[in-house]
Amino acid sequence: MAALWNTRNLTMADAPNPFQLPNITKFKIALCQLSITSDKNQNLDRASRSIRLSVEQGAKLLVLPEMWNCPYSSDYFAKYAEDFDNRDASPTLSMLSEAACCHGITIIGGSLPEWDHGRLYNTCCIFGPDGRLKAKHRKIHLFDIDIPGEISFKESDTFTAGDQPTIVDTEVGRIGIGICHDIRFPELAALYRKRGVDIICYPGAFNVSTGELLWELVQRARAVDNQLFVATCSPSRNSTGSYTTWGHSTLVGPKESPT
């Protein structure tokens, strides 16, 4: 199966402070958990199909995984990176923009390796229903881990950290953005809540070691502590590469168990 997508009706009345939108009290969110390959074009095709299928099921907000246009490996990041200021050389951004406009949907574009002035960033792009880039978030907290006998990986060897929180107003509400390891830091979620965010979207690629221990726990903590919704989207698990993702894309509400 090329992709696993999870669509769910999200009711604003379930939250203590509902979205203050005059005509929208309910919308459907899609978490597109993609199976990633080393073929960039195939990854784009799979994402495009997932977006179309999600829209057919009524989704108004769609979230893609962290690093979905390439395998999660330092061997691929620079090779698959794109210059977002040069759309002719950025097929991934072009596809997301066209899909958002064609289907009239807000897309939280997971994350992609971004080249900018000789530096590499782990970046999430957000597109509105008109296809325009509304905002981008560069991963603030880079993931470095060394568990002897299990996993050793240092994002900081490859990426430059971002230094700004990202909030975007959409037709379904005010959304805060984090990427993967950003979820481990409660201060960022608390800042978003103070600024009126109703849902935080975290594209992520937790590995199987930390995923089993923390993935669901930290999502529920961020949702309950701040009384908002938390949506995460991960690549599908693939045990053949050097980095095995945990999967389990999830939506958590302020008063409920994850789904």
Phi, psi of 142 (to 5 degrees): -75, 150
Residue 143: name the closest of 202, 84, 222, 199 by CA. Answer: 202
Q: Which of 134, 139, 201, 233 is catalytic?
A: 139
Which residues have CB under 8 Å from 258's CB, separation 6+?
216, 219, 220, 250, 251, 252
Q: Which of 66, 82, 114, 155 is catalytic?
A: 66
User: Identity (one letter) of the amino acid at 114?
Assistant: E
- Is 134 catalytic? The answer is no
Handedness of CA 56, 105, 16, 22 (dihedral sign): negative
- Is 180 catalytic? The answer is yes
Q: Which of 32, 70, 125, 180 is catalytic?
A: 180
CA 59 – CA 203 distance, rounded (Å): 17
The number of C-alpha atoms within 13 Å of 85 and in the hemisphere containing its C-beta is 3
CA 169 – CA 85 distance, rounded (Å): 22
Residue indicated by tokens 């980095």:
243
Q: Give, in order, the Cα–Cα distances in Å from 72 to each of 36, 49, 111, 237.
A: 9, 21, 11, 11
- Is 139 catalytic? The answer is yes
User: Catalytic residues, which ones?
Assistant: 66, 139, 180
